[in-house]
Structure 1
Amino acid sequence: MAKTRISISLDRDHADRIREHAERAGLDVSAYLVNAATRQMAEAEAAEAQFARIDAVIAAAEAEAAELPPLPDVVDEDLTEEERREVAEAMELIYGADAPAARPGDAA
């Protein structure tokens, strides 16, 4: 197989560290970088394969959601007291107990 040369630019500190690590690994810089890049690609491909099904499910759900009509606006008066408490508890979980009582959509 014919080899292809790839040129990279990096600052001196990174170059020196790469040389040092390559030497410790008993490799020349090219072999060290190819090894590191190949390992990174294998990790990325494994992660992509692991999550491919869930990514497809998410994409399908997002496409389906994009077709749904918008929900009607709900104001506090439309909620029961229990629903208001549940909303307040959920907002506290999201924003913390010490956060101001502002909600998404409120003017800043």
Structure 2
Amino acid sequence: MAKVRISISLEPDEAERVRVHAERAGMDVSSYLVNAAVRQMAEVEAAEAEFVGVDALIADAEKRAEAHRAIDEAADDSLTADEHREVDEAMRLVYGAGEATSRGQGEVA
């Protein structure tokens, strides 16, 4: 199969850096850039393959979550004041002090 030519444009300082790195690697600029691109593609493909199972779990969880409607926290009277305080404390442990509480306020009343 015949090779395909791809033209790229670089800023002069970037082109010089590429030329210097290619020379240090004992390669011409074209070979150096092809090598770098192929290596980058392999890394991305390996990462994608590594996380395909996690991505599927996330997609499934998001799909199942769509079936549940959001709770209107401001109108949620199902928790007692003590339960709200417990939730607020747990949220502060996760997000840090000053973040939103279970009642949508900055601090517990």
1:92 aligns with 2:92: yes
> Which residue of 1 is the match for residue 42 of structure 2?
42
Residues 41-100 of structure 1: CA distance to partner in whole angstroms, max 9, x if unpaired?
00000000001111111112211221x141443457532344222222133234422x26
What is residue 13 of structure 2 aligned with on the other side?
13
Amino acid at match of 1:58: I
Please report how far the alpha carbon of residue 29 of structure 1 lies from its aligned counterpart in structure 2 after TM superposition. Answer: 0.3
1:31 maps to 31
CA RMSD across the alignment: 2.4
Q: Any conservation in 1 of the 2:88–2:102 contact (CA below 8 Å)? A: no
Amino acid at match of 1:63: K
1:70 aligns with 2:72: no
- Separation in 1, partners of 2:76, 2:43: 49
**1:104 CA displacement:** 7.9
Number of matched pairs = 104
Moved runs in structure 1, 4+ residues, more than 6 A? 100-104
- Give 1:26 shift: 0.2
| 1:104 to 1:95, Cα distance in 2 relative to 1, 3 A | farther
Question: Counterpart amino acid of 1:4?
Answer: V
Q: Which has the higher contact order (CA 8 A, sep 6+)?
A: 2
Partner of 1:4: 4
TM-score, normalised relative to structure 1: 0.79
Question: Helix, strand or coil for the counterpart of 1:5?
Answer: coil
In structure 2, the partner of 1:60 is 60
Do 1:19 and 1:29's aligned partners in 2 also have CA atoms closer than 8 Å? yes
TM (norm. structure 2) is: 0.79
